[in-house]
Amino acid sequence: MQIYLPIAEMPVNILVILLLGGFAGILSGLFGVGGGFLATPLLIFIGVPPAVAVSSSSNQIIAASFSGFLTHNRRKGVDFKMGFLLLVGGFFGSSLGVSLFTLLQKRGQIDLTISLIYVFFLGTIGTLMANESIKAILRKRRNLSAPKKKKENWLTRLNLPLKVHFPASNLEVSALLPITIGIIVGILMSLMGIGGGLIMVPAMIYLLRMPTSVVIGTSLFQVMFTSANVTLLQALNTHTVDIVLALLMLTGSAIGAQFGTRLGTVIPAEYQRAGLSFLILCIVIRLAFGLFVVPPNLFEIITLAQGM
Amino acid sequence: MLRLLSFFLLCYFPCIAVAKPLVASMVAGPSSTSVNIDSSFNGTELFLFGARNDPGDIVMVVRGPQDAYVVRKKARVAGIWVNSDQVWFKDVDGFYAIASSRPLKEIRNTSLLNSLGISIDQLSDLLENKIVKNVKANQEGEFSTALFNDKQKHRLYPSTIEDISFFGETLFSAVIPFPENIPRGQYIAEIYLFNSGILSGYQSLPITVKKVGMDAFLFDFAYKHSFIYGVSAIILALFGGWAAGTFFRKAG
């Protein structure tokens, strides 16, 4: 069954979009990520114009993250204090990122920058995460007792000002940490067009040393607001939010997020981290491949004006 | 005097005998002057029909609204493929289709057909004339070929000439396929009558491709009331997320 999308200006198969959204939603509930990093490329693959894919993905991410957030919140899995500080940084960072995005777009180098950033950041995160989680899994298998969970790392040992107590995470760290992380994630979000959870979740686990039980809920809390911000900005500036496409996707992803959240409670934390790192590394390899291998089409054609 | 009169009559009569009555050599029209895109749109066909009063072949060109494009070529810089040379095109027809009642070669006026743009082979060369800016590009021809190939791939530019069928001696009809992603805007159908290589009839018809119904409403809303549209999109998403959560909670 087909439907013609008003903004994308093309017909799509309803079932395909629902499944696409559902899959992104499962990842969302399971890992606390927005799912955008998967949904957006998949939409582009089926022929949706990239700008419409990014904006409409941001729209549906709101639904999936809100759905997952509500479930996590019911289980007391959200650190609102930390989330708020991350959010403050996030708004500053995403505004900065949007200006950077526009500048690169004018120079025609936006795709390359995005790919390089993805490869660098995700590559680092994925490798570190894979390393840590595999070690944790092996340790459990050999029935070795886990080393005392370090509440400190090199960052927290830096005597930074503005120390705040976060009861939900049982941490006491400088407020500057989440704000700075929020800013960096915000910039990356605007450049990569994703919900930010993919950077946020590892940052929370490894940099802030938050317990896994609150990481996902807090990440979803932040993703909700920032993707709402992106959706509004895109609707105002580029008019590329296709509400019909977003509605179809969010029907699938909101349901998928519910499944993902429940799945997350069953699977042990270190397997979740291993799974996420594996997914990240697959994406990184695919992107690096795209950068170094001769592209199938040497020419890129962009439509500039749209006849009204 | 009589000789002078008969001389004039002699000159005049052949003219009267040869002069034809004032009738158009050909008339044509579309089945509908507008193509409506609604939520169930998945491509369509444009029907053009008409009648010829003089012998000859019918050739048609349908052109779509004009757009601007930038074509970028990738080059290898330090092992990585990067966008390098760029060429800007302006006033490029968004859609192009050619139909003919007879293979174009047999019309026997290739130079006129080419200058009118009625030739698939010439199309990518004609695109070169629409180049307005160029950054570091050496061979502009490969950029216009790339643009042409891309358009052809999306079935917006022709790979073959469509058929024009005759019913009896005078009636003719043509079917132009419109793919599902045709651009909105003003199209023009130009119909020519060629008789032994000589252009003896012409008509142009405007055709509008526009959105109707819910699609048109949403599109206009997105552009004219962007803020409310954006906020509505967010609220709908929040509602969707909440609804899924509540539904699943009840289900267990």
- For residue A291, the chain B residues in CB contact (below 8 A) are 80-81
Asked if the Cβ–Cβ distance from A308 to B185 is below 8 Å, we say yes
Cα separations (Å) of A119 from A125, A189, A215, A287, B228? 10, 14, 24, 7, 37
Terminus-to-terminus CA distance in chain A, angstroms? 28
- For residue A301, the chain B residues in CB contact (below 8 A) are 69-71, 146-147, 150
Q: How far B36 CA sits from the closest chain A CA (Å)?
A: 12
pLDDT in tens, A163-210: 777 777 677 777 788 888 888 887 877 776 666 677 788 778 877 788
pLDDT score of A273 more than 60: yes
Residue B175 CB partners (closer than 8 Å, separation 6+): B45, B46, B47, B48, B162, B163
Average pLDDT of the residues in A18-34: 79
How far is residue A78's CA from residue B79's CA, in Å, rounded to a whole number?
A: 44
pLDDT score of A308 more than 50: no
- For residue A2, the chain B residues in CB contact (below 8 A) are 40, 42
Q: What is the pLDDT of residue B63?
A: 92
Q: What is the pLDDT of residue B96?
A: 92
Looking at the DSSP bridge assignments, the partners of residue B58 are B193
Inter-helix orientation angle A36-45/A14-31, to 10°: 160
* Mutate: best of A116, A118, A223, A243, partner B, most B CBs <10 A: A243
Q: What is the pLDDT of residue B17?
A: 45
How far is residue A64's CA from residue A5's CA, in Å, rounded to a whole number?
A: 21
Residue B15: how many other CB atoms lie within 10 Å? 8
Q: What is the pLDDT of residue B187?
A: 93
Sheet containing B34-37: order of strands:
B26-30, B44-52, B171-178, B162-167, B96-100, B57-63, B185-195, B198-211, B34-37
Q: What is the pLDDT of residue A69?
A: 84
The amino acid at B8: F
Q: What is the pLDDT of residue A306?
A: 47
pLDDT in tens, A29-76: 777 666 677 777 778 778 787 778 877 888 888 888 888 888 888 887
* Mutate: best of A250, A262, A292, A293, partner B, most B CBs <10 A: A250
- Identify the CA nearest to A60 among candidates B228, B226, B244: B244
pLDDT score of A17 more than 60: yes
Average pLDDT of the residues in A124-149: 76
pLDDT in tens, A139-155: 877 776 655 555 556 65
Cα separations (Å) of A19 from A26, A32, A43, B148? 11, 19, 12, 34
The amino acid at A247: L
Asked if the Cβ–Cβ distance from B74 to A65 is below 8 Å, we say no
- For residue A294, the chain B residues in CB contact (below 8 A) are 81
8 A C-beta contact, residue A240 and residue A59: no
pLDDT in tens, chain B (252 residues): 677 776 766 665 554 444 445 567 888 888 888 888 887 788 889 899 899 888 888 999 999 898 888 888 888 877 778 877 888 888 888 899 999 988 888 888 888 888 888 888 888 888 888 888 887 777 888 888 888 998 998 889 998 899 898 888 889 999 999 988 888 889 999 999 988 888 888 999 999 988 888 878 888 888 888 888 889 888 988 888 888 778 766 654
A–B interface: beta-carbon pairs under 8 A: 189
How far is residue A112's CA from residue A269's CA, in Å, rounded to a whole number?
A: 34
Q: Which token pair is A144?
A: 């070795």
Half-sphere exposure of residue A91: CA atoms within 13 angstroms, side-chain side: 10
Asked if the Cβ–Cβ distance from B215 to A108 is below 8 Å, we say no
pLDDT score of A16 more than 70: yes
Residue B136 is given by DSSP the state S
Residue A281 is given by DSSP the state H
Q: Which residue in chain B has the smallest CA separation from A228?
A: B234
Question: With a cut of 0.95, is the ipTM above it?
Answer: no
Sheet containing B131-135: order of strands:
A299-303, B66-77, B80-93, B131-135
Residue A158: pLDDT band (50, 70, 90) is: low
Q: Which token pair is B206?
A: 């405007």
Report the residue from B72, B180, B231 with minimal CB separation from A10: B180
Q: How far B110 CA sits from the closest chain A CA (Å)?
A: 31
Mean pLDDT, all residues of chain A: 78
Asked if the Cβ–Cβ distance from B215 to A6 is below 8 Å, we say yes
Beta-strand relationship, B162-167 and B96-100: parallel
What number of H helices and E strands is found in chain B? 6, 12
pTM of the entire structure? 0.69
* Mutate: best of A1, A2, A3, A9, partner B, most B CBs <10 A: A9
Residue A295: how many other CB atoms lie within 10 Å? 11
Residue B80 is given by DSSP the state E
Task: Give the angle B240-B246-B250 at the CA atoms, nearest 5°.
Answer: 145
How far is residue A126's CA from residue A118's CA, in Å, rounded to a whole number?
A: 11
8 A C-beta contact, residue A152 and residue A209: yes
